[in-house]
Amino acid sequence: MSARLLHGPPAADSLLAQVRQRLQRLSRPASLHVIRLGDDPASVSYVRLKDRQARALGLHSEVHVLPETTSQQELLQLVERLNLDPQVSGLLVQLPLPPHIQVSTVQRAIDPAKDVDGLHPHNVGRLWSGDPGLTPCTPAGILHLMDHYGLPVAGQRAVIVGRSTIVGRPLAAMLLARDATVTLAHSRTPDLHEVTSQAPLLIVATGVPGLITAGMVQPGATVIDVGVNRVPSTDGKVHLQGDVHPDVREVAGALTPVPGGVGPLTVAQLMLNTVLAAEGLQA
Ligand code: GUN
């Protein structure tokens, strides 16, 4: 039997409806500022989606495009200027950054109250201490997707594959806070298939196309595929492939497609975070 597909757009729409309601109640305009360095094709595409969605909601949106050769000091100066600007509600620096820039230094420089990516150590600490402020968009979006489709979280045995600061780690904290029992597996986990095949809830965020095959999945499991890998196809074009192999569709009970699964939730959650930042509730 084929898995139920958990399509992202309807779940994202319900999150965006919440954003619109909050925007109406806001006493001052909200704005999102995104800094992008260089022309990495994936970053260009993601930033365009964020900018378009923000504008569609009537948010003020600005994209600051800097050359790949921008020095760390120049980048930090721009971050500081935006930190101090009272018109700026939310601010993020698109990843990945070129190797001469230290990501942690840039993330620490962003005002935690404007940190709509939820990656500043202040916000990371709040999340892990059970007092969340602004939280990372993809994991928060995944929880919204699960809630939208009525999938249980509390009491679930969840296995996350991938320990990134942007998805795997914050998702572990969020699932724990919702009373799931969490295993955080990664590229050095021995016998990964034994761990994944014990998971009624499996979330994969590794950046390795097709890593999770049908034999690694518990029959009937809910599988959330966070991977968006740009893979060259035989016709010379680039197509998007998840971290979950297409065969998994025949084993899983429910599965997010790629594209059109988690991605729209990330963007919608960023809009919510921008409004939360504008409300000043998370500082
Ligand atoms: N690159 C890929 N996803 C993200 C994200 O959620 N935030 C940032 N800043 N960069 C990314």
Give 198's contacts (C-beta < 8 A, 6+ positions apart): 157, 159, 218
**Arithmetic mean of pLDDT, 236-259:** 96
Integer Cα distance of 170 and 127 in angstroms: 8
H or E element in which residue 166 lies:
none
Known binding positions for NADP(+)? 162-164, 228
Integer Cα distance of 147 and 155 in angstroms: 14
Angle at 58 between CA 88 and CA 74, to 5 degrees: 30
Integer Cα distance of 29 and 218 in angstroms: 47
Which of 53, 94, 241, 269 is the catalytic position? 94
* Amino acid letter, 241: Q
- The answer to whether residues 241 and 212 touch, using CB atoms and an 8 Å cutoff, is no
The segment(s) of the chain belonging to CATH 3.40.50.10860 are: 27-114
Q: Among residues 117, 200, 194, which one has the least CA distance to residue 154?
A: 200
| Ligand 1 atom 3, closest CA | 95
Integer Cα distance of 141 and 54 in angstroms: 16
Please check the confidence at residue 279 and state whether its pLDDT lies above 70: yes
**Arithmetic mean of pLDDT, 117-128:** 98
Beta bridge mates, 33: 62, 91
* Ligand 1: centre distance to CA 95 (Å): 5
Q: Which is higher by pLDDT, 233 or 254?
A: 254
The segment(s) of the chain belonging to CATH 3.40.50.720 are: 136-264
Q: Give yes or no: 282 in active site.
A: no
Q: What are 57-108's pLDDT values in tens digits? A: 999 999 999 999 999 999 999 999 999 999 999 999 999 999 999 999 999 9
The arrangement of secondary structure in 27-114, i.e. its CATH architecture, is: 3-Layer(aba) Sandwich (3.40)
The predicted structure's pLDDT at residue 57: 97
Q: What are 151-200's pLDDT values in tens digits? A: 999 999 999 999 999 999 999 999 999 999 999 999 999 999 999 999 99
Provide the token pair at 247. Answer: 């065969």
The predicted structure's pLDDT at residue 281: 63
What is the number of the ligand 1 atom nearest to the C-alpha of 136?
Answer: 6
Beta bridge mates, 36: 65
Q: Among residues 129, 196, 203, which one has the least CA distance to residue 164?
A: 203
Confidence band, pLDDT 50/70/90 cuts, at residue 134? very high
CATH 3.40.50.720 holds for 136-264 = yes
The predicted structure's pLDDT at residue 282: 53
The predicted structure's pLDDT at residue 43: 97
| Ligand 1 atom 11, closest CA | 95
Integer Cα distance of 238 and 229 in angstroms: 9
* Amino acid letter, 264: P
Ligand 1, from 33, 46, 63: best to mutate by most atoms within 8 Å of Cβ? 46
Share of the chain above pLDDT 90, in %: 95
ipTM of the predicted structure? 0.95
94 CB near ligand 1 (under 6 Å): yes
